[in-house]
Amino acid sequence: MVYKPQVMEHLVRPRNVGELDAPGGVGESGDAACGDVARFTVGIEANRLEEVRYKVYGCAACIAAGSALSELVRDTHLLEAARVSKADLENSLGGPLPEGKEHALTLVLDALHKALEDHWNRQAGEMLVEGYDGGPDGGTNGRMKSVVVATSGGVDSAVTALLLKEAGYDAACVTFRLHDGERGSRSCCSPDTVLFARDTAHRMGLPHFTLDLKDLFDRRVMKDFVGSYAAGRTPNPCVSCNAHVKFHAASFLADRLGFDHVATGHYARVVEEPGGVTMARPTDAAKDQTYVLWPVPKELLSRTIFPLGEYRKEEVRRIAEEKGLAVAYTPESQDICFIPDGNYRGFVRKKIAAEPGEIIDTGGRTLGRHAGVVDFTVGQRRGIGVSAPTPLYVTEVRPAQKQVVVGRREDLEVSEVRVGDLNWFLDYGEADSVQVRYNSPSVTCEVEDSGGGEVRARLAEPVVGVAPGQSAVFYKGDRVVGGGVVRRDG
């Protein structure tokens, strides 16, 4: 193993060594037991990286990479600093590092990016924890066609960023840390979704930022998810995230960078209507995500771009392949992101104690016992634990009485739905149909205001399995008129 002279030069005369006394951000990556730790402190003024100091415990490659990186990013705009890739760093060290030493590049870049992440966290203060709706310096300030793209390390968001870049946008990618269940998020030696997303952005020549939204996500999504089960409702965490987390955080960063737009890899379209901006179903009906996007606030939607709304999934994959993006081969994510094994009940059970109670029929007769209402949702057929000549379905969950009501399929039919927590893009009166489940057709309806911030949707034909807590999304043709949360009857 022989190092290039540039590496030895940085080892013996490292630049920008130390720590800033009053840093604007601190980031550390690595682990003493693994043998490498890098720490960056940064001083940022008006989005310029005025000062950078670094420290490294580790091999010569790590020390040299830290030194070279500090030189590359010092006194540059944040967007330039966040664009520095492993390849850029390697070039500044005179070419490829010896085999087995490439991790030095990842280590020091990660420490720098964590320092930038810390900078945004300090900027955000409570804003991102409470929910962001445009900060003091919110709004755009002149960068035309500029966009912050939320990227997850998956194929859809990567192609979104690529399409916008190719359309001439000034694009910056951002990945959100939402919870600790992500692959490798706790270990320095295993694959990490953030590292992968960063690498993907850098390969496209785009700057990449990371925002730590774990507190916000916990408050607005995870607690709601667990609480809903306890209250006998069927939650949709993607809806909560879109309502409070993802678009707000992307807008927060866009405002800090002076960028106009935000974009995600969702399959939906944003369209201008006489009544204002609204959302519309995408070209690829099979991937339609409008059902979970209804709560995006209208003022955030008006700056949002969904490039994939015009594409089919196969095309997106083909674009990724043609452009040589490694994400082309990542598997489709299906489950709730913070429950990778798909065991929702197990997850909820760990958070709240289950209290046993009765299983009754629609006439009030006791049929059996259950271990806790959290194990049941309306419409459920499997695992009820009561035998009957005809299949039994859960028709209602009553957490206060610890009761689970079961009945026949017909008992699940409803012809009217109460909907609250509303968010409208167009006037509610324009709605001609409503969708009450993911991936199921919308049903013709009439909507009337029932007061108290609720509407009542009268369905042209009865539907089965409308559970409280689910979303009800109203459409006019392919336009999303608005949406809300299904209320309990009565």
Partner 1 sequence: MQNDVVYLDHAATTPLDERVLEAMLPHLGGAPDGRPRGNPSSLHSAGAAAREAVEEARASVARLVGANEPGEILFTAGGTESDNLAVLGLAASDPSRKHVVISAVEHPAVREAAGHLEATGYEVTRIGVDAGGLVSPARFAGTLRPDTALAAVMWANNEVGTVQPIEEIAELCREAGVPLHVDAVQAAGRLPIDVSRVPVSTLALSAHKLHGPQGVGALYVRGGVELEPVLFGGGQERGLRSGTENVAGIVGLGAASRLAFEELEERTRHEEALREALISGATGLPGVRLNGHREKRLSNNIHVSVEGVEAESLVLFLDALGYAVGSGSACASRGTPAGHKASPVLLAMGRTQEEAISSVRITVGKDTTRAGIDGFLEAFAAAVSQLRELSPLYTS
Which two tokens mark 428? 């509610």
By beta-carbon proximity to partner 1, the closer residue of 99 and 461 is: 99
> Letter for the amino acid at 188?
C
In the list 80, 102, 315, 454, the residue contacting partner 1 (rule: CB under 8 A) is 102
What are the distances in angstroms from CA 69 to CA 7, 37, 93, 204, 304? 12, 15, 9, 19, 34
Candidates 29-37, 256-264, 275-283, 425-433; binding stretch for partner 1 (CB under 8 A)? 29-37
**Residue 20 near partner 1 by CB under 8 A:** no
Nearer to partner 1, 31 or 489 (CB): 31
Does position 32 bind partner 1 by CB under 8 A? Answer: yes
- Are residues 278 and 481 in contact, defined by beta-carbon separation less than 8 angstroms? yes
Does 481 bind partner 1 (CB under 8 A)? Our answer is: no
Least separation in angstroms between CB 31 and partner 1: 8
Q: Which of residues 403-422 bind partner 1 (CB under 8 A)?
A: none
C-beta of 14: minimal distance to partner 1 in Å?
6
Q: Which residues are part of the catalytic machinery? A: 241, 337
Burial of 77 (0-12, 13-18, 19+ CB in 10 A): middle
Which of 153, 56, 60 lies closest to 108, judged by CA?
A: 56
36: contact with partner 1 by CB under 8 A: yes
Interface with partner 1 includes 112 (CB under 8 A)? no
Nearer to partner 1, 188 or 320 (CB): 188
Q: Would residue 274 be called left, alpha or beta, if left means φ above 0 and alpha means ψ between -120 and 50 degrees?
A: alpha
- Residue 63 vs 162, nearer CB to partner 1: 63
- Does residue 39 belong to the site contacting partner 1 (CB under 8 A)? yes
Which of 435, 378, 387, 439 is CA-nearest to residue 409?
Answer: 378
Binds partner 1 (CB under 8 A): choice among 22, 33, 46, 400: 33
The only residue of 74, 83, 86, 103 in contact with partner 1, by rule CB under 8 A? 103
63 binds partner 1 (CB under 8 A): yes
> For the chain, how are helix, strand and coil distributed in percent, rounded to 5?
35, 30, 35
Please report whether residue 53 would count as binding partner 1 according to CB under 8 A: no
For residues 188 to 217, the per-residue mask of contacts with partner 1, x marking binding by CB under 8 A and - elsewhere, is: xx----------------------------
Among 14, 232, 295, 399, binds partner 1 (CB under 8 A): 14
Q: How many residues does the chain have?
A: 490
Residue nearer to partner 1 on the CB measure, 14 or 484 = 14
Other C-beta atoms within 10 Å of 331: how many? 7
> What contacts 253, CB < 8 A, 6 or more positions away?
120, 148, 172, 174, 209, 211, 259
Number of residues that bind partner 1 (CB under 8 A): 32
Contact 315, 157 (CB under 8 A): no
- Residue 115: CB minimum distance to partner 1, A: 12
Examine residue 35 and tell whether it contacts partner 1 (CB under 8 A).
yes
28 lies in the site for partner 1, by CB under 8 A = yes
Cβ closest to partner 1, residue 63 vs residue 149: 63
Which of 28-36, 129-137, 224-232, 247-255 is the region at the interface with partner 1 (rule: CB under 8 A)? 28-36
**Treating both helix axes as pointing N-terminal to C-terminal, what angle do 237-244 and 223-230 enclose, rounded to 10 degrees?**
140
* Single-letter amino acid code for the residue at 237: P
Q: Does 10 bind partner 1 (CB under 8 A)?
A: no
> Taking CB under 8 A as the rule, does residue 56 contact partner 1?
yes
Does 44 engage in binding with partner 1 (CB under 8 A)? Answer: no
| Helix/strand/coil for 9 | helix
Phi-psi group of 413: left, alpha or beta (phi > 0 → left; psi -120 to 50 → alpha; rest → beta) = beta
Considering only CA atoms, which of 369, 391, 368, 366 is closest in space to residue 380?
Answer: 391
Lay out the sheet containing 304-305: strands in order across. Answer: 208-212, 170-177, 143-150, 259-263, 304-305
Q: Please identify, using beta-carbon distances, which residue of 52 and 263 lies nearer to partner 1.
A: 52
> What is the crossing angle of helices 313-322 and 155-166, to 10°?
70
- Which of 6, 15, 17, 354: binder of partner 1 (CB under 8 A)? 17
> ∠111-64-77 over CA atoms, to 5°?
50
- Binding site residues, partner 1, CB under 8 A: 1, 3, 8, 11-12, 14, 17-18, 28, 31-39, 55-60, 62-63, 99-100, 102-103, 188-189
